[in-house]
Structure 1
Amino acid sequence: MDRIRIVGGNHLEGRIPISGAKNAALPLMIASLLTDDTLTLENVPHLADVEQLIRILGNHGVDYSVNGRRESQNEGYSRTINFTARNIVDTTAPYELVSKMRASFWVIGPLLARMGEAKVSLPGGCAIGTRPVDLFIEGLQALGADIDVDSGYILSKAKNRLRGNRYVFPKVSVGATHVLMMAATLARGETVLENAAREPEVVNLAECLIAMGAKIDGAGTSTITIEGVDALSGARHRVIPDRIETGTYAMAVAMAGGDVLLEGARADLLQGALDVLAQTGTEIIPVNSGIRVRRNGSGISPVDVTTEPFPGFPTDLQAQFMGLMTMAKGKSRITETIFENRFMHVQELARLGAHITLAGQTAIVEGVSKLKGAPVMATDLRASVSLVIAGLAAEGETVVNRVYHLDRGFERLEEKLSGCGATIERLSS
């Protein structure tokens, strides 16, 4: 099993290209199930989760082909991929596939809308909480689906197509918004989704569906209206730059110090997080080619944050921000309101010398003057990269184990950081 070795103490200087967003690419790939034409997606990141979803879609009969890579970038960076679901050969998503990646559960919406049926395994729990699928089920039932749960599978049918309806999400859910919006594109009549997620990834999916012929209004607001159509066509669409990767590298620069251009990054996708980062004493400078991030070696100011749905501070940057706050000059409070069990990185940061105490959903971080490298264990995707951020500033050597978590969401992380002067390398078992 691979590990990542970091020797801390180097400032970061240079450029880091920001990849396509994993959280946008996955629902866009699943949208290919809605049409028998080809959906071409540009800027698809080369990640373990993307490769796994390609295999899952192949199980349903989706063909794919890869067209090269982005200009002026090395082999392995974001690609253009063509997806063609001309013939759906299987409407079952089995447990052995769904259990490996929760987002694969989202195929239930397009399969039900296009084929009138879907049998999809319940995804089960994960490292950061149970993340139940009740909103998906209730929403699809509101669109006229008949749903039963049997032996760990959701059996769904829609005789004579799904029917448009009004559905109010009891709480904001990005995944459920993706699924119901996709399902509603082929439903009869109008669907109104209220208290919908406003995340940029939802907007990116809506723009793709519109390019395919869907009639959608209001994406990016809390009310989305979809007028169902009889069929969707193929399209060509670009995956937005990854706002979580952007925020992660911005926090890495804030932690280590330096001056880095995040090429291709868009400030509008994570303004709430950038505003918080600016309060730490880090300079955030949007430029035509991306976002420039600078910290000149002055101390890191402590800032309190609470995770919130977009446009608030994203839960997917909570662990990274905690890594940064471990060396702030004072006390900060980080409150997690989106997922339970998302503080498992605390004990690993403590191995590096961090002072963190937990009080329910809040972590109280008392900044220290220095961290010391140590062997640490990644527990999930975002927690693992928080350890990398801490390791960049820690004295001596930090070795992060279980880096397969990182490979799920960060494209060539060690290559991008080493290109800016970090001493970081992958150790293969």
Structure 2
Amino acid sequence: MEKFVVTGGKPLSGEVTISGAKNAAVAIIPAVILCDEPCQIENIPNISDVSLISRILQQMGANVRRINRSSLYIDPTKIRTCNAVTDLVRGMRASYYLLGALLGKYGRAKVALPGGCNFGVRPIDQHLKGFEALGAATQLVDGAIIEAECDNLVGTHVYLDVVSVGATMNIMLAASKAKGQTIIENAAREPHIVDLANFLNSMGADVRGAGTDVIKIRGVEYLHGVTYSIIPDQIEAGTYMCAAAATRGCITVKNITPKHLESISAKLREMGVKITEYDEALKVDASSAPLKRCNIKTMPHPGFPTDCQPQFAALLMSVPGTSIINENVWDNRYQYVSELIRMGAQISVEGRLAIIEGGTPLTAAPVKATDLRAGAAMIIAALEINGTTEISNIQFIERGYEDVVEKFRGLGADIKKVYFTGDNEQELGA
């Protein structure tokens, strides 16, 4: 069993360079299916989700090879099947982007229902609503596989009943080669949606309005190959910012887009953290002033991101006073709370609210990552504690954080990845 072993109790300091955005990469890589020529994607995060979606494309016949640590060459012209029903597909949530890409390119798709983190119901009804509005027939087969097929996709008007990042992106993919214009209303506005639109447009697509709640896509017949660089990861940056604040450290977060981090920076400033903004970096300094409690309400972008909610919960554990988190995106994102309680946190959950009594003494304890961002919260909590914490289920963390051990070590953290066999342990990568 692989675990992270963290000995905390000292402030972080130094610089950390942020990788490409996971949430953009796992949509842009399937989007290459739409292209009629090879593409090169740069600033790819070296994470397990990227490896999975790359292997899925290879299974379908695409030529996918890694040029270097952060660049992929993808030739989709040899794809020989529209079926993606293997265990690899079931292993990641973002595999549903294969539906929109395959439907847009070939007019048919057969994709297994995805897995990934489990923190609430994630229906894809809005995705299917969009596909059907474009003219596709969809069906659920054996409760585990989605089939979609059409003779011709035709531009249409789609109003999303709820703001859905996945549905917005999937409909964008399918509509990119549909005949005529598609209008998506009540669209999500996250930075990775804008990044997907920019990638599609760089290939010759006609997508306008990304970043607003109305997106217009006029279908085109041909998409040409490009070299494209993915945006920095907003949530990875927010995680290291939280960690610096939680340990009362001072770090510089590099290779970022500060505008994407405004909601996170605003909350840290409210707590008393000094944030200095540069062109592509932020300095996060929590070393001088005592931090204050705050309340957080997660919302679709540009509101506070749900993907930074667990990390802030770990931070607020260290701040005296009562803080309240109101989770407005997912129904069941507080599974991690029981793990923080094992460390001595005083947190109670009432429906969508988590009430945190911060400033209580914490102790090291064995904990597990219940999902990707919860795993990041476990690392942050462990860094606060004078003691050694073992974190299991680290495969969740490695889904979305590149070189997490090396990056935290670069900031002075005492963290290592070990392989446990019975009573023995061996450090990996030592």
Structure-1 separation of matches of 2:188 and 2:123: 16
Partner amino acid for 2:176?
T
Name the TM-score, length of structure 2 as normaliser.
0.95
Partner amino acid for 2:330?
F
Q: Is the 8 A contact 2:323 2:355 kept in 1?
A: yes
- Further displaced range: 316-325 or 287-296: 287-296
Q: Deviations over 1:295-350 (max 9, x none)?
A: 11532211101110000010100000000011112000001111121101111111
Partner of 1:313: 304
SS across alignment from 1:425: strand
Structure-1 separation of matches of 2:21 and 2:178: 28
Q: Is the 8 A contact 1:307 1:318 kept in 2?
A: yes
Partner of 2:212: 221
Partner of 2:42: 42
Structure-1 separation of matches of 2:418 and 2:230: 31
Structure 2's unaligned 5+ residue stretches are 421-430
Structure-1 separation of matches of 2:231 and 2:10: 30
Structure-2 separation of matches of 1:146 and 1:369: 56
Structure-2 separation of matches of 1:388 and 1:318: 14
Structure-1 separation of matches of 2:343 and 2:40: 44
Structure-2 separation of matches of 1:184 and 1:60: 22
1:26-105 alignment runs, 5 A limit: 26-69=26-69, 79-105=70-96
SS across alignment from 1:29: helix
Structure-2 separation of matches of 1:65 and 1:360: 46
- State the aligned residue count: 419
Partner of 2:423: none
SS across alignment from 2:43: strand
Partner of 1:74: none
Quickly say closer, same or farther: Cα 1:125–1:285, change in 2 above 3 A.
closer
Q: Deviations over 1:262-314 (max 9, x none)?
A: 11122111211210111111111111341111111532211101110000010
SS across alignment from 2:78: coil
Structure-2 separation of matches of 1:24 and 1:337: 22
Quickly say closer, same or farther: Cα 1:349–1:175, change in 2 above 3 A.
same
Structure 1's unaligned 5+ residue stretches are 70-78
- Which of 148, 152, 175 does residue 156 from structure 1 map onto? 148
Partner amino acid for 1:248?
T
Q: Is the 8 A contact 1:263 1:290 kept in 2?
A: yes
Deviation at 1:95, TM superposition (A): 4.8
Structure-1 separation of matches of 2:52 and 2:370: 20
- Further displaced range: 257-266 or 244-253: 257-266
SS across alignment from 1:409: coil
Deviation at 1:358, TM superposition (A): 0.9
SS across alignment from 1:120: strand
Partner of 2:426: none
Partner amino acid for 1:158?
C
Deviation at 1:62, TM superposition (A): 1.4
- Indicate whether 1:113 and 2:110 are aligned: no
Q: Deviations over 1:209-239 (max 9, x none)?
A: 0000001110000000011111211111111
Structure-1 separation of matches of 2:360 and 2:393: 28
Partner of 2:425: none
Structure-2 separation of matches of 1:154 and 1:12: 46
Q: Is the 8 A contact 1:370 1:395 kept in 2?
A: no
Partner of 1:418: 409
Deviation at 1:126, TM superposition (A): 4.9
Partner amino acid for 1:251?
C
Q: Is the 8 A contact 1:300 1:328 kept in 2?
A: yes
Structure-2 separation of matches of 1:143 and 1:256: 51
Partner of 2:428: none
Structure-2 separation of matches of 1:83 and 1:286: 36
Partner amino acid for 2:237?
T
SS across alignment from 1:86: helix
Partner of 1:356: 347
Deviation at 1:124, TM superposition (A): 6.1
Partner of 2:17: 17
- Which of 236, 254, 274 does residue 245 from structure 1 map onto? 236
- Further displaced range: 144-153 or 182-191: 144-153
SS across alignment from 1:14: strand
Quickly say closer, same or farther: Cα 1:124–1:377, change in 2 above 3 A.
closer
Partner of 1:75: none
RMSD (CA atoms): 1.2
Structure-1 separation of matches of 2:215 and 2:283: 34
Q: Is the 8 A contact 1:95 1:123 kept in 2?
A: no
Partner of 2:261: 270
Partner of 1:167: 158
Q: Is the 8 A contact 2:92 2:115 kept in 1?
A: no
SS across alignment from 2:162: coil
Partner of 2:3: 3
Structure-1 separation of matches of 2:9 and 2:215: 48
Q: Is the 8 A contact 1:118 1:155 kept in 2?
A: yes
Structure-1 separation of matches of 2:162 and 2:133: 16
Structure-1 separation of matches of 2:17 and 2:301: 24
Structure-1 separation of matches of 2:403 and 2:372: 14
Q: Is the 8 A contact 1:16 1:262 kept in 2?
A: yes
Structure-1 separation of matches of 2:78 and 2:414: 49
Structure-1 separation of matches of 2:368 and 2:190: 30
After the TM superposition, list the runs of 4 or more consecutive aligned residues in structure 1 that deviate by more than 4 angstroms. none
Structure-1 separation of matches of 2:100 and 2:360: 50
Partner amino acid for 1:4?
F
SS across alignment from 1:123: coil
Q: Is the 8 A contact 2:344 2:360 kept in 1?
A: no
Q: Is the 8 A contact 2:120 2:330 kept in 1?
A: yes
Partner amino acid for 1:146?
A
Structure-2 separation of matches of 1:370 and 1:20: 36
Partner amino acid for 1:285?
T
Q: Is the 8 A contact 1:125 1:131 kept in 2?
A: no
Partner amino acid for 2:150?
A
